[in-house]
Amino acid sequence: MDKPSAAALRQLTPTGKLRVAVAVAPSPSAQFAIKDGDSFKGVAVTLGRALAEKLGAPAEIVPHNASGEIQNSAADNKWDVAFLPVDEERKKFVDFGNAYHLLQSTFLVAAGSKVQSVKDANAKGIGIGGVANTATFRAAKKATPNATHIEFASVDMAATAMRERRIEAIALSRESLAGLAAQIPGSRVLDDAFLNSSTAVCVPKGRPEALTYVSAFIEEAKASGLVRKALDEMGLTASQVAPAGMQP
């Protein structure tokens, strides 16, 4: 791909570094990174570092508890690029570029739960946990208006609540839940889903040159196999790469 224009470079590296916002969780997904000693690893980390290399700038990984936290800090000049699930509410805070991953979200249900489908979860007395200000939890609430919804600041906190039997279900992406299920004995992931969307690169609003450049980067990363490799390295072999040219 072409070298970045002077304007794109200014918008992507205003501090001289590319600040890559990542959400950290107990298990990886196309969005979530995990702790790796004193650092982090994950699809977003791999893509962010590759983008920094294209720009000829050092990468700084900026960890957050969840995508909602990244979204809400978009106007605070704390990060320059992120890789987040797409929804209409989030578009008020960030500008999305091209998608790199097809996202499906559903519920993890606790051991002994009688819930077998998303429809079953839409009932009084069913406590559903999710991460505050996320596309997934907004969709979960819409799909299950009769349930009780409990917001948590992080995936770790939601997992603890399920282990303590304070909630019966957790709303997350299917790939995140697969890893989480292994950490909560007896839990299981539902076969159906309440959200079919995508995960895409994004930048804070008002950086049009940056947006054009990161979209071109994502297209190159898909075509070269970098996205597929990044997913596979995190054990996400069943995750689907978004089609060429896909926009939110």
Please tell me the distance from the alpha carbon of residue 44 to that of residue 33, in angstroms, as a whole number.
Answer: 7
Of 66-70, 176-180, 199-203, minimum mean pLDDT range: 176-180
β-sheet bridge partners, residue 169: 109, 128
Supply the pTM of this predicted model.
0.84
Q: What is the CATH number of domain 6-103+197-241?
A: 3.40.190.10
Q: How many CB atoms are located within 10 Å of the residue 17 CB?
A: 16
User: How much is the average pLDDT of 235-247?
Assistant: 93
Q: Are 145 and 122 in contact (CB under 8 A)?
A: yes
Contact between residue 1 and residue 218 where contact means Cβ atoms under 8 Å apart = no
Give the pLDDT score at 64: 97
pLDDT 10s digits, 89-98: 999 999 999 9
Point out which residues pair with 170 in neighbouring strands: 108, 129
Model confidence at 146, pLDDT cuts 50, 70, 90, reads very high
pLDDT at position 160: 97
Q: Strand (E) positions, the chain?
A: 18-23, 34-36, 39-41, 59-64, 81-85, 94-109, 127-131, 148-152, 169-173, 188-189, 195-204, 240-241
Beta strand 18-23 pairing with 81-85:
parallel
Supply the pLDDT for residue 51.
98
Cα torsion angle, 136, 138, 139, 144, sign: positive
Mean pLDDT of 51-58: 97
Q: Are 242 and 101 contacting, i.e. CB atoms less than 8 angstroms apart?
A: yes
* Percent of the chain whose pLDDT exceeds 90: 95
Residue range 40-66: mean pLDDT, rounded? 97
DSSP assigned state of 245: T
Instruction: Work out the number of other CB atoms within 10 angstroms of the CB of residue 125.
Output: 8
Dihedral (C-alpha) 155, 97, 54, 229: value to the nearest 10 degrees?
Answer: 50
Query: Average pLDDT in the 136-143 region?
Result: 96
- Do 6-103+197-241 and 104-195 come out as alike in CATH topology? yes
Which residue ranges make up each domain of the chain? 6-103+197-241, 104-195
Percent of the chain with pLDDT over 70: 100
Identify the pLDDT of residue 123.
97
pLDDT bucket at 238, cuts 50 / 70 / 90 = confident
Tokens of 35: 């702790």
| Average predicted confidence (pLDDT) for the chain | 96
Q: Length of the chain in residues, anyone?
A: 248
DSSP at 122: S
CA neighbor of 55 nearest in space, from 22, 13, 101, 94: 13
Q: Which CATH number fits domain 104-195: 3.40.50.11270, 3.40.50.2300, 3.40.190.10, 3.40.50.300?
A: 3.40.190.10
pLDDT band at 17 (very low <50, low <70, confident <90, very high): very high
**Taking 90 as the threshold, does the pLDDT of residue 219 lie above it?**
yes
